[in-house]
Chains A and B, each alone.
Chain A
Amino acid sequence: MTKSRVIEIEPLTRVEGHGKVTVHLDAQNRVSEARLHIVEFRGFERFIQGRLFWEVPVIVQRLCGICPVSHHLAAAKAMDKIVGVDILPPTAEKMRRLMHYGQILQSHVLHFFHLSSPDLLFGFDAEPERRNIFEVIRKHPELAKQAILLRKFGQEVIEATSGKKIHGTSAIPGGINKNLSLAERDHLLANHGQFLEWCRAAVTLAKSYVIEHQHLVKRFAHFPSNHMSLIREDGALDLYHGKLRATDAAGQIIFDQVDTDHFNDYLMEEVKPWSYMKFPFIKRLGNVDGWYRVGPLSRLNNAAFLDTPLARDAHLEFRELTQGSPNHSSLNYHYARMIEVLHCCEKVHELLLDPDLQGSDLRSSGTRREEGIAVIEAPRGSLIHHYRVNENDQVTFCNLIVSTTHNNTAMNRAVTDVAQRYLDGQPDITEAMLNHIEVAVRAYDPCLSCATHALGQMPLQVELVDADGTCIQRKSQYIDEDTYGL
């Protein structure tokens, strides 16, 4: 056959939300490009218009069932600006930080153990029936138990700080509506030593994976890119607040210590007709070269150091892997994620011992402003919330750039890279090949419902498309359309 083809994969399992991948083949059956599509859109930014600004932190977290805290806090930070508050009372900021560390901890643990460990433990080629969390529970019961309890710990931190395990309401414009009671504190401190041990073990596990699979790690969706993240003034990793830093593939600064209020001067978003997800890029470098990655890998590339003792050492070891230059391997996201888990666990401990959390000065006020911009490092990367509020307290404008959107080009690169390597010139599509594509996407822990700001969830598939744009084969990972007559 001389015609080019497109392969579709759906649903991409074990990513948060759903989407679709199309693999475009040329006339010689070689992969020319692969695209990650987002297929549903319910326009959250429109829904929020006209709503009252203090409702926003509560409304916006409904975008996502996995990292609602990040949206809750990003919106609250933007609303701090609206009510004219630049510096929160220490109790409020520390409660929010505690919530955030608990959130990143539980989200990363969920991703690593529940979603990715089947691929890592059993291999990407393993039969689909084995590549799931139930098999992990059967084969590695101790690991599974640790994952479940660590995640529960993260959720308990969230509950104690936000009022609920999911979709809490505590971060309010200018502050927080509760402090941490001594009983709550003591409950969270009770098993902390154990949790810290497990986090250390998780770092060791992730590290030995990348070392044992060096060959694969260096080959699989490994490509140079720019990296962006928040950074503290002294260059330390800061997941809750800071200024923006972007570095290039060689680790050189593109911009640094950029006030998040001015993000628009540095970043732009491009729309492509085949995806609802926008493609952000660094303005100065243009839409071809300006794409960048965000998330754990980028944060650890950008950070000069981590400010907790165990994670600081782990970060140094991570940097040694690439002799101090930026790490560009998609699979190293997993390793970076576990270092952040350790960092968050240490941060939680530090905060729990801080008497400020029992303070009673919970809220500040200032002079009203019309515009509020906030950036937070969500589990998956930088999350930007931008609002305008009128004199009647109603939202008139909202733009959200979520982590998965920042990683849009990178995910497309990763998918193309893997498709070229594993599908190219092959006569037929195998389960294992398709799963390689999924693994590449999954490394970015994409949250597709967030990325399109849909309020629900979306299905995802892989299609094979020929040079005329005709879909000639459509395949779902675990649902065979022929078998089920879909």
Chain B
Amino acid sequence: MSETLASTFTIQVDGQTVTVQAGQSIMEACDAAGIYIPRLCDCEGLVPQGSCRVCCVDINGRIQAACTQPAAPGQVIGNETPTLNAHRRTLVEMLFHEGNHLCPICEASGRCELQAMAYRLGITQASPYPYLQPVRPVDASHPDIALDNNRCILCGRCIRASRDIDQKHVFDYVGRGIHKRIGVSAARLAETDASLEDEAIARGTCPVGCILRKREGFDTPVGQRLFDRRPIDLDNAVQHHIPTQAVPAHIESDPP
């Protein structure tokens, strides 16, 4: 067998044959083939962490996160199935329950991946469960950046971007279970070395309206925001990708 043949193989996704480069995750292979797998915590250019579970797919009968699961020869994968989408819907609903999401007054509205995912999955009304409606203080101490933790979905994109790309480690998880939230590496954001130039602060790294670039809110008219024109899909989901040249070598995935 030649070198080329050995490094590619195929898998089946919703009945479609997808060619995989050895070493790709299922998510990477599907992205390359133009097949969209819904996701929230995964972001091109960041190490996948498989925490939001929205990208779970059915792999030969087992449900696993597509962003962390390596593609393997012979996999038969279900993606857009009614069962999986029902699970995804529940997961996304629970994110709305855990945070305090008042979309109509949120500057992320229209470019927010959580909101767009809710629309994609057909969440049009409140679920019957109680909302936690936390009231968490806004950290507006930094001159250029504000944090509204009420809208954080704990995707960890800011953590990975700050640690791996900006090499600053401004953000990390603190607390456990239902009390888990995003903390900063000082008492307040103003005392960290976070800055507008950070990849962690770039618009789109935070998928929701938690990390805010101050005084930029509502600068895009309704109708021209990222998800106004079309629902979240492959093109606009990976629209915010962190350029690979910015990614230090040590976190690039090694070929097996």
Contacts and interface: CB of A to CB of B under 8 A. Distances in A.
Interface of A: 50-52, 54-55, 57-59, 62, 83, 162-164, 167-170, 172-173, 177-178, 392-394
A55 B107 contact: yes
Nearest to B219: A177
A177 B223 CA distance: 11
B221 A170 contact: yes
A54 B146 contact: no
Given A55-B107, A58-B105, A163 B217 contact: no
Interface of B: 104-105, 107, 137-138, 140-141, 146, 212, 214-215, 217-224
A55 B215 contact: no
Given A164-B222, A392-B141, 6 more contacts: A52-B212, A62-B105, A167-B104, A170-B221, A177-B220, A392-B146
A55 B218 CA distance: 8
Nearest to B223: A163
Contacts of A177: 218-221
A357 to B, nearest CB: 14
A52 B140 contact: yes
Nearest to A172: B218
7 smallest CB-CB distances across A and B, nearest first, come from A163-B222, A178-B221, A392-B140, A59-B105, A54-B217, A169-B218, A177-B221
Contact of B215 (A162, A163, A168, A393): A393
Nearest to A171: B218
Contact of A55 (B105, B141, B220): B105
Nearest to B138: A50
A50 B137 CA distance: 8
Contacts of A51: 138
Contact of A62 (B104, B141, B215): B104
Nearest to B142: A392
A83 B215 CA distance: 10
20 contacts: A50-B138, A52-B140, A52-B212, A54-B107, A54-B217, A54-B218, A55-B107, A55-B217, A57-B218, A59-B105, A62-B105, A164-B222, A167-B104, A168-B222, A169-B218, A177-B218, A177-B220, A392-B140, A392-B141, A393-B146
Contacts of A57: 218
Contacts of B215: 54, 83, 173, 393
Nearest to A60: B105
Contacts of B221: 163, 169-170, 177-178
A33 to B, nearest CB: 40
A199 to B, nearest CB: 28
Contacts of A62: 104-105
A214 to B, nearest CB: 47
Residue of B146, B221, B223, B224 with highest tally of chain A CB at under 10 A: B221
Contacts of B214: 52, 393
